Amino acid sequence: MKRILRWELLGILFVFSLGALLHFVFEWSGESLLAGAFASVNESVWEHFKQGFWPMVIWAAIEYPVFRGKVNNFFAAKGTAVYLIPAVTALIFYAYTAATGEEILIVDILIFAAAVAIGQLVSYKILTSGKLPGYMNWVGLAMIIALGSAMILFTFNPPELPIFLDPNGFYGIPFGAR
C-alpha cells in the first residue's frame, strides 16, 4: 500500500509538472497541429483540460507495467482520475470567477494542483480498494479513450459553447495555425 501511495504521490508531481509545460508546447512548436492535438492551443477552459489529461495518461502508461497484476481496478482508477481532474478544475474555476468576476493566475495554478492531487488520491483509493467487477476496468479504459478522442476532436472542431471559447473570441486552433 505504501509503495502504491508513493507512486500516486509522485504522479501528482509528474502530472502537474508536465501539465504546466503543456501550456506552452503549442507555441514553442511553432503552432504545430500535431502539438495542438495534445497541448493547449488557446486560453479556453477546455484547452486547459489537456494539461491534466495527457500527463495523466502518460503517467498511467508508466505505472501500468509496474502495477500490472499487483493492484485492483487499474483502468477504473485511471478512468475516474482523468475525469475528476477537469471536473474539479471546472467546478472550482467557474465558482471562483463567478464570485470574484476575474481570473487570478495563482488561483488557477493552485486549482490545477488541487485537481491533480484529488485525481491521484482518488486513483489510489480505487487501486487499493476491493476488486470491482471486471467490466469496470473496460469502462475505465473506454472512458480514457473517449475523453482523449474528444480532446483531439474538439481542438480542431470545437462546439461554440463557453467552455471552448478563448477570451480573445475564437474557438479551437487559432486562425494563424490552420
Q: Which helix (H) or strand (E) holds 21?
A: helix 2-28
**Residues 5, 129: Cα–Cα separation, whole Å:** 13
Structural domain contains residue 178: no
Predicted pLDDT of residue 177: 53
Q: Is residue 65 part of a domain?
A: yes
> At residue 49, does pLDDT exceed 70?
yes
Q: What percent of the chain has pLDDT over 70?
A: 97
Q: Does residue 175 surpass a pLDDT of 90?
A: no
pTM comes to: 0.91
Would 162 be classed as within a structural domain? yes
Return the pLDDT at 51.
Answer: 96
C-alpha cell at 38: 495534445
DSSP letter, residue 178: -
Domain that residue 128 falls in: 2-173
Of 134 and 83, the structure prediction assigns the larger pLDDT to 83
- The verdict on residue 100 lying in a domain is yes
Residue 125 lies in a domain: yes
Considering the domain boundaries, does residue 83 fall inside one? yes
165: DSSP letter: B
Total structural domains within the chain: 1
CA distances from 62 to 5, 66, 79, 120, 163 (A): 15, 7, 15, 14, 30
Residue 150 placed within a domain:
yes
Q: Rg of the chain's alpha carbons, rounded to an integer?
A: 17
In a domain, 54, yes or no: yes
Predicted confidence (pLDDT) at residue 39 exceeds the cutoff of 60: yes
Q: Own/partner pairs for 67-73, CB < 8 Å, 24+ apart?
A: 67/4, 67/7, 67/127, 71/4, 71/127, 71/128, 72/126, 72/127, 72/128, 72/129, 72/130, 72/131, 72/132, 73/126, 73/127, 73/129, 73/131, 73/132, 73/136, 73/137, 73/140
pLDDT in tens, 99-123: 999 999 999 999 999 999 999 999 9
Average confidence score pLDDT of the chain? 94
